[in-house]
Amino acid sequence: MGGVDVGGGGNGKRQLNMEINMIPFIDLLMVTIMFLLITAVWVSFSRINANAQIPGPPNPEVEIDPKAPEKVLNLHILDNEFKLVWKQGATVVSESTSERPRLQGEFKYDELAKKIGEEWKTHGGHQDKSDKALDQAILHADNKLVFKEIIAVIDALYDVQRDMVIDNADKKVPVFNMSFSVR
């Protein structure tokens, strides 16, 4: 405990030496330190790291046209059908369905692969041989779907192929770069 001595308190009056309770002062100090530490951490998250390797437009005088988002195939596996939805950003470009047969034994969706191929020829964005980019496909599947069926649908997506010039030779490559979404 800290104390304060203010000198003698003569003449029989009460004593002037008092003890000061330091615990509330220490509590206040600890709360202040914790507040400063917490706010210091959050301040560092608001920083943007930048370096000279990320330049702006090559010529600030020339206006850059924003690119439209690419079309993406969303393939939904539903109970009785496959739903093929082409989207460009949030806009639905095309929507079609294909029957989902109940498979026994070998899991292979040949009709789905044909339908995806037809849709890609109509709406696909990267069809030139010299274009190294792939179209995007998002597979939407239910969490309860059997794994063999998911693999069969992925195989149907990758069965659709196109010619691409790689090392000065034409090679067959899958059309889609596939992402997976589970609901």
pLDDT digits (tens, 9 = 90+) for 24-61: 889 999 999 998 888 776 655 555 555 555 556 666 67
Structure tokens at 73: 């195939």
Point out the least confidently predicted range of 55-59, 84-88, 90-94. Answer: 55-59
Domains contained in the chain, CATH given: 71-182 (3.30.420.40)
Angle at 98 between CA 92 and CA 102, to 5 degrees: 140
Q: Which helix (H) or strand (E) is 96 found in, with range? A: strand 91-99
Q: Is the predicted pLDDT of residue 121 greater than 80, yes or no? A: yes
For residue 66, the model assigns a pLDDT of 75
